[in-house]
Amino acid sequence: MPATTTTQVVGVKNTINSLRKIDPQLQKDFKAQATQIAQPAINAGKAAYKDVPLSGMARKWQQNNRRIFPFSVAKAATGVRMRFDTRRNAVGVILIEQKDVAAAVFETAGRANANKLGNSLGFVGAGRTRLIGPAVYKARRGIEGEIKKMIADTMRTVQKEL
Protein backbone atom coordinates (compact mmCIF):
# COMPACT_ATOMS: atom_id res chain seq x y z
CA MET A 1 0.00 0.00 0.00
CA PRO A 2 1.68 3.27 -1.12
CA ALA A 3 1.91 6.15 1.33
CA THR A 4 1.80 9.81 0.37
CA THR A 5 3.11 12.78 2.32
CA THR A 6 3.10 16.50 1.80
CA THR A 7 5.68 18.93 3.11
CA GLN A 8 4.71 22.41 4.21
CA VAL A 9 6.92 25.11 5.66
CA VAL A 10 4.81 27.15 8.05
CA GLY A 11 5.72 30.68 9.05
CA VAL A 12 7.67 31.82 5.98
CA LYS A 13 5.77 35.13 5.79
CA ASN A 14 6.41 35.83 9.46
CA THR A 15 10.07 34.91 9.09
CA ILE A 16 10.63 37.26 6.15
CA ASN A 17 8.78 40.09 7.90
CA SER A 18 10.70 39.47 11.14
CA LEU A 19 13.99 39.67 9.27
CA ARG A 20 13.14 43.23 8.27
CA LYS A 21 12.36 44.14 11.88
CA ILE A 22 15.60 42.62 13.17
CA ASP A 23 17.84 43.99 10.44
CA PRO A 24 16.79 45.10 6.93
CA GLN A 25 20.09 43.79 5.57
CA LEU A 26 19.16 40.27 6.74
CA GLN A 27 15.97 40.43 4.67
CA LYS A 28 17.91 41.64 1.61
CA ASP A 29 20.41 38.82 2.04
CA PHE A 30 17.60 36.27 2.40
CA LYS A 31 15.92 37.48 -0.79
CA ALA A 32 19.20 37.49 -2.70
CA GLN A 33 20.01 33.95 -1.56
CA ALA A 34 16.51 32.71 -2.41
CA THR A 35 16.75 34.30 -5.86
CA GLN A 36 20.12 32.65 -6.42
CA ILE A 37 18.77 29.23 -5.39
CA ALA A 38 15.69 29.66 -7.61
CA GLN A 39 17.72 30.78 -10.63
CA PRO A 40 17.31 27.42 -12.47
CA ALA A 41 13.51 27.79 -12.32
CA ILE A 42 13.71 31.42 -13.45
CA ASN A 43 15.98 30.44 -16.34
CA ALA A 44 13.59 27.63 -17.31
CA GLY A 45 10.73 30.15 -17.41
CA LYS A 46 12.81 32.47 -19.60
CA ALA A 47 13.86 29.66 -21.94
CA ALA A 48 10.22 28.67 -22.56
CA TYR A 49 9.75 31.68 -24.85
CA LYS A 50 11.20 30.77 -28.23
CA ASP A 51 9.02 32.45 -30.86
CA VAL A 52 6.01 34.70 -31.37
CA PRO A 53 2.91 32.48 -30.92
CA LEU A 54 0.73 34.17 -33.56
CA SER A 55 1.90 36.47 -36.35
CA GLY A 56 -0.60 39.17 -35.36
CA MET A 57 0.93 39.40 -31.89
CA ALA A 58 4.02 41.04 -33.42
CA ARG A 59 1.93 44.08 -34.39
CA LYS A 60 1.00 47.03 -32.21
CA TRP A 61 -2.25 46.76 -30.27
CA GLN A 62 -3.68 49.20 -27.75
CA GLN A 63 -6.78 49.01 -25.62
CA ASN A 64 -8.06 52.12 -23.80
CA ASN A 65 -4.74 53.90 -24.55
CA ARG A 66 -2.83 51.08 -22.86
CA ARG A 67 -0.20 49.39 -25.03
CA ILE A 68 -0.62 45.61 -24.88
CA PHE A 69 1.21 44.26 -27.93
CA PRO A 70 3.65 43.81 -29.82
CA PHE A 71 4.86 40.53 -28.36
CA SER A 72 8.65 40.28 -28.26
CA VAL A 73 10.48 37.09 -27.32
CA ALA A 74 13.29 39.11 -25.69
CA LYS A 75 10.86 41.18 -23.61
CA ALA A 76 8.90 38.07 -22.64
CA ALA A 77 12.09 36.40 -21.41
CA THR A 78 13.22 39.44 -19.41
CA GLY A 79 9.72 39.75 -17.93
CA VAL A 80 10.14 36.52 -15.94
CA ARG A 81 10.99 37.63 -12.39
CA MET A 82 10.90 36.41 -8.85
CA ARG A 83 8.82 38.26 -6.27
CA PHE A 84 8.18 37.89 -2.55
CA ASP A 85 4.62 38.47 -1.37
CA THR A 86 4.32 38.64 2.42
CA ARG A 87 0.92 40.29 2.62
CA ARG A 88 -1.56 38.80 5.06
CA ASN A 89 -3.94 37.40 2.42
CA ALA A 90 -1.27 36.23 -0.04
CA VAL A 91 -1.52 32.63 -1.23
CA GLY A 92 2.12 32.21 -2.23
CA VAL A 93 5.15 33.80 -0.65
CA ILE A 94 7.90 33.16 -3.20
CA LEU A 95 6.54 33.70 -6.70
CA ILE A 96 7.99 33.45 -10.18
CA GLU A 97 5.82 35.60 -12.41
CA GLN A 98 5.60 37.23 -15.82
CA LYS A 99 5.79 41.03 -15.74
CA ASP A 100 5.59 41.69 -19.51
CA VAL A 101 2.02 42.60 -20.47
CA ALA A 102 2.02 40.94 -23.90
CA ALA A 103 3.47 37.70 -22.54
CA ALA A 104 1.01 37.71 -19.63
CA VAL A 105 -1.89 38.10 -22.07
CA PHE A 106 -0.49 35.21 -24.14
CA GLU A 107 -0.12 33.03 -21.04
CA THR A 108 -3.67 33.54 -19.79
CA ALA A 109 -5.85 34.35 -22.84
CA GLY A 110 -9.03 32.29 -22.85
CA ARG A 111 -8.58 31.03 -19.32
CA ALA A 112 -11.62 32.68 -17.72
CA ASN A 113 -13.91 32.67 -20.74
CA ALA A 114 -13.77 31.68 -24.39
CA ASN A 115 -12.60 34.37 -26.81
CA LYS A 116 -11.02 34.53 -30.27
CA LEU A 117 -7.46 35.02 -29.04
CA GLY A 118 -7.74 32.20 -26.52
CA ASN A 119 -9.27 29.89 -29.13
CA SER A 120 -6.47 30.69 -31.61
CA LEU A 121 -3.77 30.00 -29.01
CA GLY A 122 -5.32 26.76 -27.81
CA PHE A 123 -7.01 25.61 -24.63
CA VAL A 124 -5.56 26.48 -21.24
CA GLY A 125 -7.34 25.37 -18.08
CA ALA A 126 -8.46 27.61 -15.26
CA GLY A 127 -5.56 28.57 -13.01
CA ARG A 128 -2.98 27.37 -15.57
CA THR A 129 -0.57 29.09 -17.94
CA ARG A 130 0.68 28.05 -21.34
CA LEU A 131 4.50 28.08 -21.07
CA ILE A 132 5.88 29.56 -17.87
CA GLY A 133 3.92 27.38 -15.43
CA PRO A 134 4.93 23.99 -16.83
CA ALA A 135 8.55 25.10 -17.30
CA VAL A 136 8.88 26.43 -13.75
CA TYR A 137 7.14 23.41 -12.18
CA LYS A 138 9.51 21.08 -14.01
CA ALA A 139 12.56 22.98 -12.72
CA ARG A 140 11.03 23.44 -9.26
CA ARG A 141 11.74 19.87 -8.19
CA GLY A 142 15.48 20.51 -8.17
CA ILE A 143 15.41 23.64 -6.01
CA GLU A 144 12.60 22.89 -3.54
CA GLY A 145 14.83 21.12 -1.01
CA GLU A 146 17.44 23.87 -0.96
CA ILE A 147 14.79 26.56 -0.46
CA LYS A 148 13.23 24.61 2.45
CA LYS A 149 16.64 24.17 4.07
CA MET A 150 17.43 27.88 3.69
CA ILE A 151 14.04 28.86 5.17
CA ALA A 152 14.52 26.50 8.14
CA ASP A 153 17.97 27.98 8.80
CA THR A 154 16.55 31.50 8.58
CA MET A 155 13.70 30.61 10.97
CA ARG A 156 16.24 29.38 13.50
CA THR A 157 18.20 32.64 13.14
CA VAL A 158 15.05 34.72 13.67
CA GLN A 159 14.08 32.71 16.75
CA LYS A 160 17.55 33.19 18.24
CA GLU A 161 17.44 36.92 17.59
CA LEU A 162 14.00 37.35 19.12
3-state secondary structure 73-142: HHHHHHCEEEEECCCCCCCCCEEEEECCHHHHHHHHCCCCCCCHHHHHHCCCCCCCCCCHHHHHHHHHHH
4 falls in which pLDDT band (50, 70, 90)?
Answer: very low
For the chain, what percent of residues have pLDDT higher than 90?
14
pLDDT in tens, 94-103: 888 899 989 8
What is residue 46's predicted lDDT score, i.e. its pLDDT? Answer: 92
pLDDT in tens, 148-158: 898 888 888 77
Whether pLDDT at 5 is above 70: no
8 falls in which pLDDT band (50, 70, 90)?
Answer: very low
Average pLDDT in the 7-23 region? 73
Domain ranges of the chain: 12-157
Q: What angle do CA 111, 117, 119 make, to 5 degrees?
A: 70
